[in-house]
Amino acid sequence: MQAKITKTKVDALQAGDILADKEVKGFVARCLGSGAVTYGYRYRDKTTGKQRWLGLGLHGSITADQAREFAKKAAGEVANKQDPVGEIQESRAEAKREKLAEANTVNTVLDAFEKDHVDGLRSGDQVKAAFKSHVRPRLGDKSIYDLKRSDITTMLNEIKAESGPVMADRVLAHVRKAFNWQMVQDDEFKSPIVRGMAKTKPKERQRKRVLADDEIRDVWKALDQFEDGPACYPRYVKSLLLAMTRRNESSGMHTDELEGDLWTIPASRYKNKRDHVIPITPAIRELIGEKPAGCKKNSWYVFSTTKTKGELDGAKPFSGFSKAKRELNRIIAKNRKAEGRPAMKQWQLHDLRRTGRSLMSRAKVDADHAERCMGHVIGGVRETYDRYEYLEEKRRAFEALAGMVAMILNPPANNVIQFTEAAQ
């Protein structure tokens, strides 16, 4: 029915009744099945030709006169070829985006991703360290909805310049996983990461870098000069070569893993998921050092930077890899420049492990024993694996490696290194 919409007319409506206003075309009062009356404005969008309904409010919350004024305003917008419903929807969507943007910074997403996906992974500490060192300082406070491809590219270029292209690609892989995880549960987010952002090619990622003798001397010299960084760092880096360990295997060395002259890296920390036993040679023993002054327990992390009342306590493993490595590279570059030598080719801590294997070959260590020293499985007979097999052979191999390093650092006067048969 049609009449001027007033309070009296509205109060008389029955469930299902619709009252169209005679004064403002499109202004309507509808009585719902519940008995509540809602005001609205019906119109046809002049752009799309579709009929629209704009809710104005419930009777009681607003009066009939107030609803008529809202309808008049909407009618004016329609006359100007505007779409009141579309504008409201857009406004609501914008408000939703703003609310999401405030809640979903890169830091917030990385926190949630770490808790849901990273915690408990064998490589979890590496992923968190990559986020902490490279991503959070650069993008952490930005909303994920404001991220652009250029933001990712700029970050990767900076990481490449500071830590090398391999690290840049490693960070890219971690961030890609985090953003893909976010997209699964967030309809509003689209990852800015696209193909072609990697800084290396697949073949280039298969590193074969082995440090030359002069480079080993450069590293050792710089470590002996290392002052602006963790005191444990020189000992830690040397362990990577003398024990042929991976980065986190040495950084996580704990005295609970040491028994007599053996260091057992537990399967939970080792790549092949097996315990790996390393005979402790005098050279490795020297790197372990003494109990930290601030440690109140009977066990501690060997390479640690945490302190209690200003004294090292060994409470947590060392993790400041990137900053310390940059300082080490700076010292090496400074020394080589002072000696009139070219800059050292880009290298990584993991190259020390590969260098150790090469030095064992130079020392005539049996190839199988050298592979066992690296924790590689020989023959693939997993069921009969014995972590204490070939201990003496491995001990002689590590001693031969230490001997090779010693001769490289202090070459004989005639500059000829005599090789000895070792661990045959």
Residue 163: pLDDT band (50, 70, 90) is confident
Alpha helices in 35-83 (DSSP H): 64-79
On the question of pLDDT at 293 being above 60, the answer is yes
| pLDDT > 80? residue 379 | no
The pLDDT of residue 57 is: 83
Is the model's pLDDT at 420 over the cut of 50?
Answer: no
Q: Could you tell me how far CA 265 lies from the centroid of its own chain?
A: 24
Supply the pLDDT for residue 51: 80
The pLDDT of residue 361 is: 96
- pLDDT, average across residues 399-409: 97
Q: Do domains 7-92 and 104-205 have the same CATH topology?
A: no
| Distance of alpha carbon 354 from alpha carbon 351, whole angstroms | 5
pLDDT at 317: 92
Q: What's the mean pLDDT when you consider all of the chain?
A: 87
CATH superfamily, domain 213-409, is Intergrase catalytic core (1.10.443.10)
Which pLDDT band, with edges at 50, 70 and 90, does 384 fall under? very low
pLDDT digits (tens, 9 = 90+) for 59-108: 888 899 998 888 888 887 776 667 666 555 555 555 555 555 566 889 99
- How much is the pLDDT for 383? 40
The predicted-structure confidence for 165-179, as pLDDT tens digits, reads as follows 888 999 999 999 999
Residue 237 or residue 320, greater confidence: 237
222: CB partners within 8 A, 6+ apart: 328, 331, 332, 335
What digits encode the pLDDT tens for the residues 259-279? 999 999 999 888 888 899 999
Residue 389: what pLDDT?
Answer: 83
Q: Is the pLDDT of residue 308 over 80?
A: yes
Domain ranges of the chain: 7-92, 104-205, 213-409
Percent of the chain with pLDDT over 90: 56
- Could you say which DSSP state residue 211 is in? -
Q: What per-residue confidence (pLDDT) applies to 404?
A: 97
Residue carrying structure tokens 């104005």? 56
At 211, give phi and psi (nearest 5°): -75, 135
The answer, yes or no, to whether residue 423 has pLDDT greater than 50, is no
Residue 58's pLDDT is 86
Residues 238 and 287 sit within 8 Å (Cβ to Cβ):
yes
In CATH, the number for domain 7-92 is 3.30.160.390
Residue 307 confidence (pLDDT) above 50: yes
Mean pLDDT check: name the lowest of 5-9, 83-87, 380-384: 380-384
Is residue 388 scored above 80 in pLDDT? no
Most confident residue range from 18-32, 106-120, 341-355, 370-384: 341-355
The CB density around residue 158, as the number of other CB atoms within 10 Å, is 14
CATH topology (fold) of 104-205: DNA polymerase; domain 1 (1.10.150)
Q: Which two tokens stand for residue 254?
A: 């704990």
* Rounded Cα gap, residues 308 and 63, in angstroms: 69
What does the pLDDT read at residue 422? Answer: 47
CA distance 96 to 5: 35
